Amino acid sequence: MPSTQQVRALQALSFMDLTTLNNDDNRKVIEDLCSRASINEKSVAAVCVFPEWVALAKQFLKEQGLNTKVATVTNFPDGSSNVERAAAETERAVAAGADEVDVVLPYRALLNGDESTPAELVRECKDICGDSVKLKVIIESGELEQHDKIVLASELAISNGADFIKTSTGKVSVNATLKAAEAMLGVIKASQTDCGFKAAGGIRTVDDAVRYIELAEQLMGEDWVTASHFRIGASSLLQDIQKILVKA
């Protein structure tokens, strides 16, 4: 009988977007990431890589007999206000075979009082993704800081077609926090849509992951917390999961 910690570790694994988004990523790094996408025949929800590595990741996972999704990022990490750039990058990502696209909302524009550019960017990217590719919108909650700005960014993303809203790029000083997660989950609940939630950045242990899982269960109900609605973006978390699940 698995322990409670092992059960939670398996949960965290099933919700995980196993990620590498470093400028020095290469073929070996991507193949190594994909080779670690399953433990004891249980797979992560997705692997997340830069667009130029999507095709390699998909091929490698297929060769391993895994149906794991491949996610990528666009308008990343700066959250530019250039809608054409974000749309072009998203088109390329979809053409490369990405199952999911994590696009950065132009959060600085929002902080400057511009709501129309972020709304347009999400709308354009969702039109490109259509129904077959999930669009996850990164609001960069640590940079927005204030509760009302986090709520506004979440509402804008959802109302313009986001399939998920995501806390962070993992490339700023403050990434996922429970406070931001609570605000974002509250917006999802109030929206009465099928939008999902992804916490990313700084989640390094199963105990960290469990705090977000329990918060989502509390606010949205246990039945809601599945990989179709809930994700954790991380890289180092896998090491802690492995320690727990591969114990002698």
Query: Distance between CA atoms of 74 and 87, rounded to whole angstroms?
Result: 8
Query: Distance between CA atoms of 44 and 241, rounded to whole angstroms?
Result: 11
Using CB atoms within 10 Å of the CB of residue 3, give its burial: 0 to 12 exposed, 13 to 18 middle, 19+ buried: exposed
Known catalytic membership, residue 207: no
Supply the DSSP symbol for 50: -
Known catalytic membership, residue 166: yes
Q: Choosing from 58, 198, 208, 240, which is the catalytic residue?
A: 198
Identity at 19, one-letter amino acid code: T
Q: Choosing from 17, 166, 208, 240, which is the catalytic residue?
A: 166
Q: Choosing from 102, 163, 208, 240, which is the catalytic residue?
A: 102
Task: Quote the Cα angle for 174-150-84, to 5°.
Answer: 90
Identity at 229, one-letter amino acid code: H
Known catalytic membership, residue 149: no
Query: Distance between CA atoms of 134 and 147, rounded to whole angstroms?
Result: 26
Provide the annotated active-site residues. 102, 166, 198
